[in-house]
Amino acid sequence: MRLSGRATIPRIIGRFVVPALFAAVFAAPLWFMVVGSLRPAGLPPPRTLEILPPEPTLAAYARLPELIPLFRYLANSALVVALAVPLTVVVASLTGFGLRLLAPTARRRVVLGLLAVLLVPATAVWATRFELFRLAGVVDTYVPLLAPAVLAGNPFLVLLYAWSFGGVPESQLQAARLEGAGWLTVWRRVALPQVRPATLAVAVLAFTFHWANFIDPLLYLHSGDRYTYPLGLQFLRLLNPTDWPLLMAGCVVATVPCVLVFLLAQRILLHDDPLAALRSGGRS
């Protein structure tokens, strides 16, 4: 049965127009940063919507390494992310799987406890955490930056995994146990492959948090050769607070990795074979 023209118009609006409007709203700040970074040095941000500056130039990007050790800061941030993201995924998934195995009454109590932890503001524990890390002698190292990953990053990530593992049939878990598999083997071979969307979501959220983390490096890092890129952006703002194209170029460099990780995760999630998605992404 063919749909009439009146029936197709709302469908087209709901399927294409509305998502395009939402995408435009989220992409507008990114485009504003890119356009602002292409303006000549010394020009203020545009007062009206600007598709491209009158004389676009990449001079701001060339000046970034001259003012701050750009590549060292990027390498430090990449090192923290490379260690923190796998840790977060492993700890959050193990904790969420353990929560899935609890009895319903105990599970509800743990969930309420995690929700209570979510209500605690981060500023309330800064002083206590700093004192603990100072007594442990790990200030000015990457250990305080990796500590959130060892604690699963955020209770929300644990709850996300617990909710996802709830969709794994109990019969599969018990069948694996009857075959002699331990709970770690059941987690790795039975449960974890079935919650791939949750794993991708946790990995993207962990990457974004650790890549953009500014407060922890500011509190715990004192040596300049250990600074991460968010601190570099702060120093760039202090060195040249009125050079808007330079500041926008620094923001673009900070944002591009997060956008690429999000697009890669979306491509893998929508593809039937993650390895094939990665191979096709490398050829494109």
Residue 231: name the closest of 91, 68, 8, 65 by CA. Answer: 68
Q: Give the C-alpha separation, 82 to 42, whole Å.
A: 36
Provide the pLDDT for residue 252.
93
DSSP 8-state symbol, 166:
T
Query: Three-state DSSP class for 142?
Result: coil
Distance of CA 113 to the CA centre of its chain: 24
Q: Give the C-alpha separation, 180 to 159, whole Å.
A: 28
Alpha-carbon separation of residue 247 from 5, 25, 35, 42, 236 (angstroms)? 50, 22, 12, 11, 7
Q: Give the C-alpha separation, 32 to 214, whole Å.
A: 22
Provide the pLDDT for residue 15.
67
pTM of the predicted structure, to 2 decimals: 0.84
Residue 226: name the closest of 218, 215, 234 by CA. Answer: 218
Residue 205: name the closest of 98, 24, 84, 95 by CA. Answer: 84
Question: Number of helices and strands (H, E) in the chain?
Answer: 15, 0
Per-residue pLDDT tens, the chain, 284 aa: give them.
444 445 576 676 666 677 777 777 777 788 888 888 888 877 776 777 777 777 888 888 998 998 889 999 999 999 999 999 999 999 999 999 999 999 889 989 999 998 888 888 888 888 889 999 999 999 999 999 999 888 877 888 999 999 999 988 989 998 988 888 888 999 999 999 999 999 999 999 999 999 999 999 999 999 889 999 999 998 888 887 788 888 889 999 999 999 899 889 888 877 644 444 444 444 44
Provide the pLDDT for residue 240.
79
Alpha-carbon separation of residue 226 from 15, 78, 238, 262 (angstroms)? 47, 12, 19, 26
Q: Give the C-alpha separation, 231 to 217, whole Å.
A: 7
Amino acid at 138: V
Angle between helices 143-150 and 196-212 (to 10 degrees): 160
Residue 204 · residue 182 · CB < 8 Å: no
Provide the pLDDT for residue 7.
53
